Amino acid sequence: MTAGLARTIVTGVIGSDTHIVGNRILTMALEKAGYKVVALGALTPAADFVRAAVETRAEAILVSSLYGQGELDCRGFRDLCVEAGLEDILLYAGGNLVVGKRSWDETEETFLKMGFDRAAPPGTRAETVLEWLARDLSPA
């Protein structure tokens, strides 16, 4: 695959969250699978994900949140994308989205309602994420 044809994906850890390990593992797996990855790293404001996706014509944004404030940080994320002309971009959230005694089903529903296409339960493996992308990204 040439650089020009590679599909671009934006990754990062949202908000004031510094848990970078899982995000980095994910980024490396994506690159190995042939994606062009724009890795924004830890402590990334929501707007920076969107700006990066606009310039690079990314087809998916993978938002990590581990520290327990993911729901707060991700509010309005889809709206930001729509605002920037990215209404159809694929959005995933993952990491450690469950807070307190909430069930995963409840948490997942919250994120899907916010406009994410998928939410990953804690401990989701990178291979699973690659399978999802292969299924969800429209053929080039």
Partner 1 sequence: MSAALLIDFGSTYTKLRAVDLERRRIIGAGQGPSTVASDVMLGMKAALGDLERHCGGLPRFRHRLASSSAAGGLRMVTIGLVRELTAEAARQAALGAGAKLVGSFAYRLTAADLAQIAALRPDIVLLAGGTDGGNSEVVLHNAAALASGALECPIVFAGNRDAADDARRLLAAKALACTENVMPAFNVLNVEPARAAIRQVFIERIVHAKGIDRAAAEFDAVLMPTPAAVLEGARLVADGLPGIRGLGDLLVVDPGGATTDVHSVASGEPAPGAIPQGLPEPRVKRTVEGDLGMRHNAATIVAAAGLEAIARDAGLEPARAGALLAQVSADVERLPASAEETAFDQALARAAVKIAVRRHCGTTETVYTTTGSVTVQRGKDLSRIDAVIGTGGALVASPDPRAVLRMALADPAEPLALRPRAPRLLLDREYLLYACGLLQSVEPQAALELALGHLADLDHETARERARHA
Kindly identify the residues of this chain, within the stretch 10-29, that bind partner 1 according to CB under 8 A.
16-18
Amino acid, res. 95? G
Is 56 or 124 the residue whose CB approaches partner 1 more closely?
56
- Does 63 sit near ligand B12 (CB under 6 A)? yes
- Does 38 sit near ligand B12 (CB under 6 A)? no
Closest approach, Cβ 53 to partner 1, in A, equals 9
Kindly identify the residues of this chain, within the stretch 27-56, that bind partner 1 according to CB under 8 A.
36, 38, 42-43, 51-52, 54-56
Is 16 or 34 the residue whose CB approaches ligand B12 more closely?
16
In the residue annotation, 17 being an active-site residue is answered as: yes
Distance CA 95, CA 123 (A): 7
Distance CA 124, CA 31 (A): 18
Residues 6 or more apart whose CB falls under 8 angstroms from that of 119 comprise: 92, 93, 94, 97, 107, 108, 111, 112
State the DSSP string of 71-115. Answer: HHHHTTHHHHHHHTT-TT-EEEEEES---TT--HHHHHHHHHHTT
Q: Report which DSSP code applies to 133.
A: H
In the residue annotation, 79 being an active-site residue is answered as: no
Q: Which does 55 bind (CB under 5 to 8 A by kind): ligand B12, partner 1, none?
A: partner 1
Number of residues that bind ligand B12 (CB under 6 A): 29
Q: What is the CA radius of gyration of the chain?
A: 14
Q: Which residues bind partner 1 (CB under 8 A)?
A: 3-4, 6, 8, 16-18, 36, 38, 42-43, 51-52, 54-58, 67-69
Could you give the residue numbers annotated as active site? Answer: 17, 19
